[in-house]
Structure formats: structure tokens, C-alpha cells
Structure 1
Amino acid sequence: MRDLVAGMRYLGKGQRWVAQHGRWWGFGLIPALIALVLYVAVLTVLALWSGDIAAWATPFADDWDEPWQGLLRGVFVGLLFAGGLMLSVLTFTAVTLLIGDPFYESLSEKVEESEGNCPPSPDRPLWQEVWIALRDSVHVLLRAAGFGILLFVLGFVPFIGQTVVPAIGFCVSGFFLAVELTSVAMQRRDIPVRERLRLLRGRKALAVGFGTPIVLLFLIPFIAVVLMPGAVAGATLLVRDLVPDEQAPEQAAGQGGAAAPYGQMAAPGAYGPPPASFPPNQGPPQAPPSPRPQSGPGSSAARPPAGW
């Protein structure tokens, strides 16, 4: 439950960041607007042809009496359009990130710079970055499509298909949407897509808490365009806390350990291990103490200095 709430907070943090940096919010709107026009056209075609698709997919119901034929095909049309919307939500992010890869890379990098300790981007040409993003998106979408087909079939189960399955579908969509949105910051750290999935599977509630509200909000017309820059910013902040910082150990190793504060003992091993020749729990051998000077007639202490 704590991770669910934390995921929602990252979405709020991202929106707050772009609200405080209005120029970057406008910068991030450009690819989302281009993708929106494409998806509106595709969904319009799907809505116009959904009845014909339902009749083609259910030829066995041609001889059924009403209302059973209309009920079956009406359910099919509803599920088809719901599946199209779910697929649109998932692929909208992937397509928008693909179109706007240079835009969102700059936005994510700016977020990290404002937070401090921004990792350097891999030294790769733009075409290679786009190819990696496309390959990773296809990998994620194929996995999401497998879950989508399973949920589509389960949608025909009475009662469960109309209550439980849609709720599970939104959570699954939220998880994979979180995978897509975090890809910008993960790719900067050169983390492969399989490792990204493993990291987010280890914190499923965090990923679902971040991605599911975005899925629900993206169903509202045009809201996806407005929220997309903040979603990328929030995903970047999430990655900064999810992925361990590997810079600190390297810096500590390069410095050979830090000195203890004044008045405190240094931690064992802070200045390196003792030489191998010394016995354990002992320091270097001490020189034998010099004999105490004596004040007799023959002693050097009683002898006057030369030239006296």
C-alpha cells in the first residue's frame, strides 16, 4: 500500500516540476500533439468499422434470433473498442516517446540536472538511440499484447469479465506504461530492457501506483497531451530513487576512504588494511627502549660536552 501511494506521489512531483518550468512543459507538448492527431484518426476508423468487424468475427451468430445476436455482437464491439483504447494508451506513450525522443531526453536530463548528479548519456548517434528505443518498445508491447489477449478472452466470462477483468486490465496497463515512461531515464543509464522489467517487477506496487492513474487520466480526451511532459518528469524522479546510485562507491574508491571527523575514531579499514607482515591485532614492532642515562662518573650524562 505504501508503494502504491509513493507511485502516485511521483506523478504529482512530475507535474509540479513541469508547472515550475513552463518552458519545458511547452517543449514536451510537441511530440504528444503529433501523436494525438494520429491516434484520433485510427480510433475514428475503428469506431466506424467495429460493427462490420464484429459481424465478420462472429459468423456463427448469423442465424441467431434477436436479442441474442445483437447482444453478442454488442459485447464484442464494446470489448473491441475497449481493447483498442487500452492498446492506444499503451502504444500512445511508446509512439510519443519514439517521435519525441530528442525532446524527452532533453526534458529528462534537465530534471536530473535540477536534482543534482545527472548521469552522462551514452555516447551514441541519434539513429542508434531511436533504434534502441524502437526495439525496446516492441519488446514491451509484445509482452503487454500477450496479457491483453488473455484479458480479452476472459472478458467473455459472465460477471467476472465485466468487473474483475477490467480492473486487472487497468493495473496491467499501468505497469507497462510505467515501463515505457521510465525508459528515457533508464536508457540514459544504459540499463537493458530486460533489467528494467526486472527492477519494476521487484516493485510492482510502485510501478502500478505510478502508471495506473496515468492510464485512467489518458482516457480523458486531450488530457494525455497535457500530462505527458509531467509523466516523463515523474518517471525520471522515480528512476532516480529506484536505481541504486553507483557513483558514490566509485568516488569513495578513488579517494581511498574519507577521514573521520575531528574527535571520532576512523572506521576500521578506512585507511586500508595493515601490512601482511604484521601479526593480527598488532601494530608494527616497537624499537627497544634506550637504557636510562646514569649519572655516575663514567656516564655520558656526567661527561661535559666537547670543547668545554
Structure 2
Amino acid sequence: MRYLGKGQRWVAQHGRWWGFGLIPALIALVLYAAVLTVLAIWSGDIAAWATPFADGWDEPWRGLLRGVFVGLLFAGGLMLSVLTFTAVTLLIGDPFYESLSEKVEESEGHCPPSPDRPLWQEIWIALRDSVHVLLRAAGFGILLFVLGFVPFIGQTVIPAIGFCVSGFFLAVELTSVAMQRREIPVRERLRLLRGRKALAVGFGTPIVLLFLIPFVAVVLMPGAVAGATLLVRDLVPGPDEPSGPAPGEAAAGPDQTAAPYGQPGAPGGFGPPPAPYPPNQGHPQAPRYPHQQSGPGSSAARPPAGW
């Protein structure tokens, strides 16, 4: 949660960039408001179409069933809106948030160079990665929707779990801008944040709850991107950046060296980078990561058994 506060404080101190970051969120807000309005108008007809077996039921049971269906349908649409709002806003505002994120990193003393790709390719990569994340989130959403019909648990425990799941995937989306600059592929991002679930959920879930308040998502979006950038800087430090612990974590001991993710040899899977392959041994060239480290699919990047 401290990263969210640091991000909002950064944009408060740089008002021009806060206004700059509002533009994509305002456009997305208008689109989502129109879609949710249509859903609210047609929700009764959708409930009647989806429950034809209840046409012969007596009142109040038919009305109660369809009322619950309408409530779950709208709640699901609202949850989907929260999950996809960030992805759509980031897609619309890719050039905006890329500039904002770069400015945050420059103000902190070091900004990794952006990949030399044309704008259309950047947008295509962002769209492809967002679809990959949203498909995973949709699987959880369907499961939680079904469990929502379970008496008592469906109205208490399941919504709480749903907010945490939404918060995790929202953190994945928000950190994508800074992660893409470091050329970390989407599967590696998911693997990295799965290994730090408390950090990802603690950052994303408060944003999900705040985004439920009308118009707050628009106001907080620039600061959320700034906070996610600061989180990535601590999670995946560059060669010229200090590799200190994240807020709330103990500092490394005298015999422990904090290092980029995915490296064995220290608590939490952190340690010095492995030695490069000797020449002419038939090994493949190491992937382009900010450090000498293993990429997706390698044994060092693969999560340990039972993860």
C-alpha cells in the first residue's frame, strides 16, 4: 500500500504529469459508463432469457431468483469493468503512460532505455499481453461467479477472495509499462508476481476498492502507474539502481546480497547472477534481460516444486 501512496505523492508534486495522465482514463471512463448503462437497462431481459425454467414458478420465487441473477450479473459486469478498465486505459494511453513512467524513473535517478520499436508494435505487444492476462483473470472470474451461488460463503468469503484476485491481476496490468521497458515477457511477469503475492495483492487490492467509487479511477490512475513504476524499480532493480528490500521487508544480512529476481542463493530466491556460459560450448545465447539471469522456461526461472 505504501507504493500507492508514493505514486500519488509523486503525481501531486508533478501536477502537469498528473493532468497528462488523466486523458486516457477519461476516454475509458466514457466508454465503460455507456456499456454499464446498457447492461443495467437490459439486465431484466437477460435474466428472463437465461432462466426460462422459472417462467412457471409462483411469486415471489421467480422474482427472487431473477433478482439474484440480475444482482450477480451486474456485480460480475462491474468486477469485469474493474479488471479491464486498467488494461483498456493502458492500451488507449500507451504513449501517455510510457512517458509518465519514464519521467518517474528519471526523477529517481535511472531510467532503462525503451526498446527500439515502432508505436504500432508497442501497442500490439500491449494488447497481446493484456489479452493473455485477462483470459487468466476471466477463468478465476467464472469460478468465483459460480461459487457466488453457494449460501453464506457466496455472499461473504467469495467476494473477499474476488477482490484479492482482482487486485493481483490489476497489479500485473499496472506494472506492465515498466516491465515492458525492461523487456520482461508477460509469462515472466506473472511468475515474478506470483512469487510475491502479498506485495502484488497489497498494491492492487486497495486500488480495486478505490476504483469502485465513481470517478476515483480517473483521478488515481496516473498515481497508480507511478506507484507501479516505483514498485518495479525495487522488485527488478537495474544495473545502476540500488537493490534494497521492498517496504516492510528486512534488509539483507552481511552475507546476503540482494539481486534481481530469479536468481538462487539467497532468501526469497535472490542472489548474485550466474556466471556466463563459456564460449564455444554449444549453449544458447542468454536472453535480453537487464541482468545476466535466466529467462522464461529455464530451470532457474522455473518456480520450485510445490509453488
Structure 2 Cα separation of the partners of residues 104 and 203 of structure 1: 24
- CA apart distance, 1:65: 1.0
TM-score normalised by the chain length of structure 2: 0.78
Given the superposition, is the C-alpha separation of residues 255 and 42 from structure 1 closer, same or farther in structure 2, using an over 3 Å criterion? same
- CA apart distance, 1:283: 35
- CA apart distance, 1:268: 24
- CA apart distance, 1:286: 44
- CA apart distance, 1:303: 80
- CA apart distance, 1:160: 0.5
Secondary structure of residue in 1 paired with 2:269: coil
Structure 1 Cα separation of the partners of residues 304 and 82 of structure 2: 98
Which shifted more, 261-270 or 149-158? 261-270
- CA apart distance, 1:277: 24
- CA apart distance, 1:184: 0.2
Which shifted more, 199-208 or 285-294? 285-294
Whose helix proportion is higher, 1 or 2? Answer: 1
Deviations 1:139-175 (A, max 9, x none): 0000000000000000000000000110000000000
Residue pair 2:101, 2:178 contacting (<8 A) in 1 also: yes
Residue pair 1:28, 1:229 contacting (<8 A) in 2 also: yes
Structure 2 Cα separation of the partners of residues 166 and 303 of structure 1: 31
Residue pair 1:177, 1:211 contacting (<8 A) in 2 also: yes
Residue pair 2:7, 2:230 contacting (<8 A) in 1 also: yes
Structure 2 Cα separation of the partners of residues 112 and 160 of structure 1: 43
Residue pair 2:289, 2:295 contacting (<8 A) in 1 also: no
Given the superposition, is the C-alpha separation of residues 280 and 71 from structure 1 closer, same or farther in structure 2, using an over 3 Å criterion? closer
- CA apart distance, 1:67: 1.2
- CA apart distance, 1:218: 0.5
Residue pair 1:293, 1:301 contacting (<8 A) in 2 also: no
Residue pair 1:259, 1:270 contacting (<8 A) in 2 also: no
Given the superposition, is the C-alpha separation of residues 189 and 58 from structure 1 closer, same or farther in structure 2, using an over 3 Å criterion? same
Deviations 1:232-269 (A, max 9, x none): 000000000111878x9999999999999999999999
What runs of 5+ residues in structure 2 fail to find an aligned partner?
A: none
Residue pair 2:259, 2:273 contacting (<8 A) in 1 also: no
Given the superposition, is the C-alpha separation of residues 166 and 278 from structure 1 closer, same or farther in structure 2, using an over 3 Å criterion? closer
**Number of corresponding residues:** 300
Structure 2 Cα separation of the partners of residues 302 and 44 of structure 1: 45
Residue pair 2:265, 2:271 contacting (<8 A) in 1 also: no
Percentage of identical aligned residues = 92
Aligned partner of 1:170 in structure 2 is: 163
Q: CA RMSD in A?
A: 19.7
- CA apart distance, 1:68: 1.0
Residue pair 1:89, 1:218 contacting (<8 A) in 2 also: yes
What runs of 5+ residues in structure 1 fail to find an aligned partner?
A: 1-7
- CA apart distance, 1:273: 19
- CA apart distance, 1:72: 0.8
Residue pair 1:11, 1:230 contacting (<8 A) in 2 also: yes
1 or 2 for the larger relative contact order (CA 8 Å, sep ≥6)? 1
Structure 2 Cα separation of the partners of residues 187 and 114 of structure 1: 19
Deviations 1:269-296 (A, max 9, x none): 9999999999999999999999999999
Residue pair 1:260, 1:266 contacting (<8 A) in 2 also: no
Deviations 1:24-76 (A, max 9, x none): 00000000000000000000000000111111111111111111111111111
- CA apart distance, 1:117: 1.6
Structure 1 Cα separation of the partners of residues 217 and 301 of structure 2: 98
Aligned partner of 1:245 in structure 2 is: 240
Given the superposition, is the C-alpha separation of residues 280 and 95 from structure 1 closer, same or farther in structure 2, using an over 3 Å criterion? closer
Residue pair 2:4, 2:203 contacting (<8 A) in 1 also: yes
Given the superposition, is the C-alpha separation of residues 41 and 132 from structure 1 closer, same or farther in structure 2, using an over 3 Å criterion? same
Which of 18, 27, 49 aligns to 2:20? It is: 27
Given the superposition, is the C-alpha separation of residues 52 and 115 from structure 1 closer, same or farther in structure 2, using an over 3 Å criterion? same
Structure 1 Cα separation of the partners of residues 120 and 203 of structure 2: 30
Aligned partner of 2:83 in structure 1 is: 90
Residue pair 1:15, 1:233 contacting (<8 A) in 2 also: yes
Deviations 1:167-196 (A, max 9, x none): 000000000000000000000000000000
Residue 119 of structure 2 is aligned to residue 120 of structure 1: no
Residue pair 1:174, 1:210 contacting (<8 A) in 2 also: yes
Given the superposition, is the C-alpha separation of residues 41 and 242 from structure 1 closer, same or farther in structure 2, using an over 3 Å criterion? same
- CA apart distance, 1:133: 0.0
Residue pair 2:174, 2:228 contacting (<8 A) in 1 also: yes
Within-5 A mapping of 1:122-271 = 122-243=115-236
Given the superposition, is the C-alpha separation of residues 18 and 257 from structure 1 closer, same or farther in structure 2, using an over 3 Å criterion? closer
Structure 1 Cα separation of the partners of residues 123 and 104 of structure 2: 21
Given the superposition, is the C-alpha separation of residues 203 and 258 from structure 1 closer, same or farther in structure 2, using an over 3 Å criterion? closer
Residue pair 1:252, 1:258 contacting (<8 A) in 2 also: no
Residue pair 1:258, 1:270 contacting (<8 A) in 2 also: no
Residue pair 2:257, 2:272 contacting (<8 A) in 1 also: no
Residue pair 2:6, 2:227 contacting (<8 A) in 1 also: yes
Query: Of the two, which has the highest radius of gyration?
Result: 1
